[in-house]
Amino acid sequence: MGIFSSAKVSYVGVDVGTASIKLVELKRESGRPFLVTYGYVDISTDIIRSNTPETRKKIVDSLKKVIASAGVTTASAIAALPTFSVFNSIITLPKMQAKDLASAVRWEAKKYVPLPLEEMILDWKIIKEPGEKVCAVETSKKLTLEQQSKKGGFSLFSKKKAVKDQSGDQAEAKAKPPKKAAMEDKSAVIMPETRPNKPDISRILVTAAPKNLVNRYIQIFNQAGLKLISLETEAFALSRALIGADKATIMIVDIGSITTDMCVIEQGVPILNRSIDVGGLTITQSIAKSLDISLERAEQFKRDFGVSINQESNQKGIPKVITTALAPIVNEIKYVFDLYQNQGNLEVEKIILAGGSAFLPNLADYFANLFNKPAVIGNPWDRVVYPEELKPVLDEVGSRLAVAIGLAMRDL
């Protein structure tokens, strides 16, 4: 059984990571998300980079295990694709009628998506500009592979319907050149990821995911006894869980086991995403190598010592090793800040940390001092009702479950 009985409709958000599978089941009660149950299991595998039968079986078995141990009460699941597996780009187009926009987006997207569109599932969304009185939420309207959810976020499937394997004979509409009238102002077509600051120009966030990867998720969830009703990006799930209605420009730094994702959120929409192959395990390995100790002992040292807020060059010992191991993440954050501002945007106002390594002692203070802006550990439970007696436990694991919480909140 779950923590609460689930008489109302509930959804389980499932985050399949490279080091663990996390899930959270929520239902809506009295207008707020209500915790039904949660669970996680450590698993050393990679659904993205490995598609062997052994890997699939390991993930299915682990998913079944955590579903049973957590007492999940629903089969309706929502999952997320990792940032590094999804292609994102911002394109700019002259404002046009909705009937012309779909073909124009596909035509323009071909320039930036690195694989043939026939091999991808494409979704798009017009970005609301600051000061607009009406939110322009035009999205892709196809009812096959590219359906956009009315709730926001890039859902690759219909809302509240179990999705089917897309490897069959279902034909996808071919991209056609946009009508000449819609594209005659060629000077208005700006390079991607820029802010044109022109009232007659729309910024459009385009997201594309490989069909074979989507099908892999569908098959694994079906085998585990779940109905995958939606699939979106981690960035939207994190934004929903950690930011909510906050309209500030925020960077979420999600430090996982082997990857770190950085995402700039502008008015609730993920605008700029970057991912690097450096995570908590990288720091642990650096400590183990430097001190010639086991990974288990190095992990404990990492949790005990944390990051030194002192940025002087004469650091020694474990704090110095940790600071050195963090350097690629720090450099990437600086790069994203510069890239975002160079596109004509305002400064990022604050940093929110997520992921299992967000709790590295002093990390938030270290980033706040280094980047001269507020940095906090995100708390995804702020928007969820749960039993008070669970607070100590949930506070400890909260950041790890941020993606799963954001996914479960999606259709509530």
Closest CA to 156 of 243, 63, 75, 86: 86
313, pLDDT greater than 60: no
Q: List 227's β-bridge partners, or say none.
A: 76
pLDDT tens digits, 12-54: 999 998 788 999 999 999 889 999 999 999 887 666 667 788 8
Mean pLDDT of 324-350: 91
The model's pTM is: 0.81
Per-residue pLDDT at 155: 58
| 104, two tokens | 């124009």
Alpha-carbon separation of residue 156 from 81, 84, 99, 130 (angstroms): 11, 17, 20, 27
- Determine contact, residues 319/334, Cβ cutoff 8 Å: no
Average of per-residue pLDDT values in the chain: 81
Exposure b/e, 235-259, CB count within 10 A at least 16 = b:
bbbbbbbbbeeeeebbbbbbbbbeb
Run of H or E residues at 88: strand 87-94
pLDDT tens digits, 257-285: 889 999 999 888 888 889 999 999 999 99
| Three-state secondary structure call for residue 71 | coil
**Residue type present at position 67:** I
| 393, two tokens | 């436990």
| 209, two tokens | 């995911």
CB count in 10 Å sphere of residue 78: 28
- Please state, in angstroms and rounded to a whole number, the distance separating the CA atoms of residues 240 and 244: 5
- Please state, in angstroms and rounded to a whole number, the distance separating the CA atoms of residues 41 and 59: 10
